[in-house]
Structure 1
Amino acid sequence: MARESDLVVAGSAATEGRQIWQVRPADLPVWPLYGMFALMPVWWALGVWYFVWPFFGLVLFVLLATRGSVRRPAGTALWLIFLALVAISAIRLERSTQLLIFGLRLGHLLTAFLVGVYVYNLRRDRVAWTRIANPLIIYWLALVALGWFGVLAPTFSVHSPLALLLPDGLAGERFITDLTTLDATEFNRFSENPIYRPAAPYPYTNNWGTAYCFLVPFVLAHLTRVRGRPIRVVLLASLPLSIVPAFLTLNRGMFIGLGAGLLYLLGREIARGRVRLMLPIALIVLAGWIITLFIPVADLITNRTTTTDTTRDRLDLYLQTWTAVSHSPLLGYGQPNSVDTTHAAEPLGTQGMIWQVLYSHGIPAVIVMYLLFLVITRRMAAAVTPGGMWLSALPVIAVVITPFYAFIDPNMAVLFAGIGLGLAAVDGPAGSSPPRTGSVT
């Protein structure tokens, strides 16, 4: 009869043999994130930024598919249902020529989903926080620099290289023109007293404000991870510098979104009897107040709203959008009926994420979208680290600004890159293997 020790040795050898032949998931590289986020100024200058974005989503999909053993963050099932509803709504398009813009928007949604899953898996694979976050930090610094470019050169406007190469049929499409023209600011060219609002690298200033909402919590989370490094000094300087172009966008929804995020974090801190985030929040509010001593933000916003009837126009547009949706409540109309939010008679499906999804894809898609954000918010509420807590404000900010801003564009990927990191912070590293050599966590 074999001794028990021999059986133990044989069992250990068999286990080691199985481990030798076991296929391990391939490591995911970080370079696609650099290509997407860090090279944003290059893609913008070429005029291809919005068009190249879905191709990076395809790269992420291929890398995830070839890797295998992809971990699914909270909300994945709802994401897939939402994407399916969006795709089905294509049958409501009236012209085949609309498929190009529809496909572009769908590509941005797919890319945002894949960015979130990719970042989530990177972090749970114990890839260093700084390696994952650095591409978005470069993106942030570029956003601030281009915002200041709009402050200093407000009338700058040139055709991009792509715009010069497009055939007349495509170049004449308003949406394509907006994406391929390099404007430092957005302003009404027909106004006798135009208000120049920083927009670059985006075609519209509201997109700049949306990016700002999503990136400020990300930068604050990053600052909790890079103490004692030169990049910390750069980021600390960039935050107050960013307030000037941010205020000059006159984006009321941006202020509301950031304010809601700060109130959410304060409420969590008070409920848990903690004060860790109160000092940085107080400093942010103080910096904003100091800037208002030099920039009359309230007066500028009042002047804009009294001269353009922007609030009344929005409310009228919302009513018209809801009336139109009542005739196609399940699938909507595939996409907004116009992208010209300044001069179009009835640009239905614009002026806010909820209105764009409602008009373009129907009531079920809106319900699923909000359920997705609810699931993510509840999961990220479990964060206990300072970095995780800052990121937990992202889905709250996203929900609050949905009546004002749409973000089916690169901003959706920015949002879900931060959410992916936040969900990974809550779920923790997978397995029990030690961190990779040379990584800094």
Structure 2
Amino acid sequence: MSLAEPAAPPSVRAEPDVRPLIRAHPVAWPIGALLVGYPLWWALGFGGLSVIVVAVPMAVVLWRRRPLRVPPGFGWWMLFLAVYLLSALMLAESPPGYAVEIGPGRMLGYTMRLMLYVSVLIVVLYLGNLTEKELPQLTLVRWMGALFLTTVAGGVLGVIAPRFEFTSPVELLLPEWIGGNSFVRNLIHPTAAQTQWVLGYASPRPEAPFEWANAWGGNLSVLLVWFVVGWWVYGGARRKLFAAAVLAIAAVPVVYSLNRGLWVGIGVSVVYLLVRLGGKARMALCAVAAGAALLFVTTPLHAMVTERLDSPHSNDIRAFTVSSTLAAALHSPVVGYGNTRNAQGNHRSITTGKSDWCPTCGHPPLGSDGQLWHLLIAQGFTGAALYVLFFVGAVRRHWRDRSPIGLAGVLVMILVLLYMFVYDGLVTPLSLYLISFALLWRNSQTPESA
């Protein structure tokens, strides 16, 4: 890949504006509504659940287009869903020493995750069965970039107005036994930031328009990849100037997020590109990285990062929940327990729990420190292995695709495998992971990927 601007697909060069494309190709509206219209979904209270809503019209389109193409690796995801269904048999069970209780919350969480796993599969099939004329690759990439702009705006909101929140229409309509569930409430209650005790004092961490601060960080790094491709690699002079300004603004919430996983992910992305890019492109990336580093160390952002690295408050909590998760998963290694379980105590005491003076306190859920650990407790080692094989297979199959979209898609798959140790894949991250997978699949069918 060189510094020369890559040639965009002919259909995109002929009509680069997104709005005429939506009007000319209405079959693509569900994915446009999901990505470009995400701020509205968030305000309504659907947020990450919006993928379930748009999967319905996508399924209708697919039903009318039978027979369907399926992507390589499709079988791994189908086996993963099969294990998920089998894990329901263990919902009423718990590891030795843990209380056995099955209530509406556990069933609700299991059902919601099942709907999400099925919905993202529908999204992949939908995208892969649209033609380039119906939905050009560059249009889909730029719609992902539009969600990056929304994410940066949400991050800035979380920095300047961390207490901003409101009751969504969905929240008003749901009964208390559903809306009061902590997992559901995070999905339906829009907030600008998540306040945590990180630096020895209450620290607001941006999370809008997503469900958690960590989801904001992981999603931003994935969307950043597609924003650079759509606005810089395939952009003209004005788009590149706009992209540079946006990236400079994004640096502020990236630092204020205090998100070490995000920082590591950006570092991994830079190293990946340095290895895979060649010639002038590598030199240009080095120059940009050096300029960004110089700007960083000469601003107050440097002090905040240093303070965060010196305050690893969550390390003990993560070590406790991961070790407890592994110990519990060994009692049901094949299909897990269908859902998470609460740990006995925490890293300090076995008596921790909610109280009148601390309603947010409680036993940390097993598997809450990363998608891998969640899968181990919920779907056992079998489910975790199938999940990993799906994304490792994507990296292996598309590694030789050196087109901009191919390089970007493989990078996202690598980030998925990195983040599974520290970030939950549900709810919104998994949607972005599978849309990125679909971009790779679509790209493998074009001459540019050769």
TM-score by length of 1: 0.83
Alignment of 1:109-258 (within 5 A): 109-122=117-130, 127-188=135-196, 193-223=201-231, 226-228=234-236, 230-258=238-266
Residue 90 (structure 1) aligns with: 88
Residue 292 (structure 2) aligns with: 287
C-alpha displacement of 1:32: 0.5
Q: SS of 1:276's equivalent? A: helix
Pair 1:87–1:293, CA change in 2 (3 A): farther
Structure 1 residue corresponding to 2:61, chosen from 49, 63, 67: 63
Structure 2 residue corresponding to 1:410, chosen from 428, 432, 435: 428
Q: SS of 2:166's equivalent? A: strand
The amino acid that maps onto 1:198 is: P
Deviation track 1:305-360 (CA, whole Å, cap 9, x = no partner) reads: 2xxx3111111111011011111111111122259997332321111010111111
C-alpha displacement of 1:405: 0.3
Q: SS of 1:158's equivalent? A: coil
Deviates more, 1:28-37 or 1:364-373: 28-37
Pair 1:34–1:346, CA change in 2 (3 A): same
Pair 1:189–1:279, CA change in 2 (3 A): closer
CA contact (8 A) 1:116 1:413 kept: no
The amino acid that maps onto 1:287 is: A
Pair 1:122–1:279, CA change in 2 (3 A): farther
- Unaligned residue ranges in structure 1 (runs of 5+): 1-26, 431-441
Matched, 1:99 2:99: no
Pair 1:265–1:226, CA change in 2 (3 A): closer
Q: SS of 1:217's equivalent? A: helix
Deviates more, 1:367-376 or 1:66-75: 66-75
CA contact (8 A) 1:186 1:196 kept: yes
Residue 433 (structure 1) aligns with: none
Distance 1:316 1:344 in 2: 14
Structure 1 residue corresponding to 2:305, chosen from 298, 304, 327: 298
Pair 1:162–1:191, CA change in 2 (3 A): farther
C-alpha displacement of 1:274: 4.5
The amino acid that maps onto 1:142 is: T
Residue 343 (structure 1) aligns with: 361
Residue 437 (structure 2) aligns with: 419
C-alpha displacement of 1:45: 1.0
- The count of corresponding residues between Structure 1 and Structure 2 is 398
The amino acid that maps onto 1:128 is: P
Q: SS of 2:209's equivalent? A: coil
Deviation track 1:30-77 (CA, whole Å, cap 9, x = no partner) reads: 100111111111111111223332121232222122112422222111
Q: SS of 2:27's equivalent? A: coil
C-alpha displacement of 1:429: 6.3
CA contact (8 A) 2:142 2:231 kept: no
The amino acid that maps onto 2:431 is: A
C-alpha displacement of 1:109: 1.9
C-alpha displacement of 1:123: 5.4
CA contact (8 A) 1:45 1:160 kept: yes
Residue 331 (structure 1) aligns with: 335
The amino acid that maps onto 1:34 is: G
Pair 1:191–1:265, CA change in 2 (3 A): closer
Pair 1:188–1:385, CA change in 2 (3 A): closer
Residue 376 (structure 2) aligns with: 358
Structure whose alpha-carbon radius of gyration is higher: 1
Q: SS of 2:276's equivalent? A: helix
Deviation track 1:93-132 (CA, whole Å, cap 9, x = no partner) reads: 2325222221211222222222233333335567422332
The amino acid that maps onto 1:314 is: R
Bigger RCO of structures 1 and 2 (CA < 8 A, at least 6 apart) = 1
Deviation track 1:5-32 (CA, whole Å, cap 9, x = no partner) reads: xxxxxxxxxxxxxxxxxxxxxx882100
Pair 1:146–1:285, CA change in 2 (3 A): farther
- Unaligned residue ranges in structure 2 (runs of 5+): 1-24, 93-101, 344-353
Deviation track 1:378-421 (CA, whole Å, cap 9, x = no partner) reads: 12212122332122211111101111001121221112212221
Pair 1:262–1:191, CA change in 2 (3 A): closer
CA contact (8 A) 2:47 2:210 kept: no
CA contact (8 A) 1:186 1:197 kept: yes
Pair 1:350–1:389, CA change in 2 (3 A): same
The amino acid that maps onto 2:398 is: M
The amino acid that maps onto 1:73 is: P
The amino acid that maps onto 1:302 is: L
Pair 1:355–1:158, CA change in 2 (3 A): same
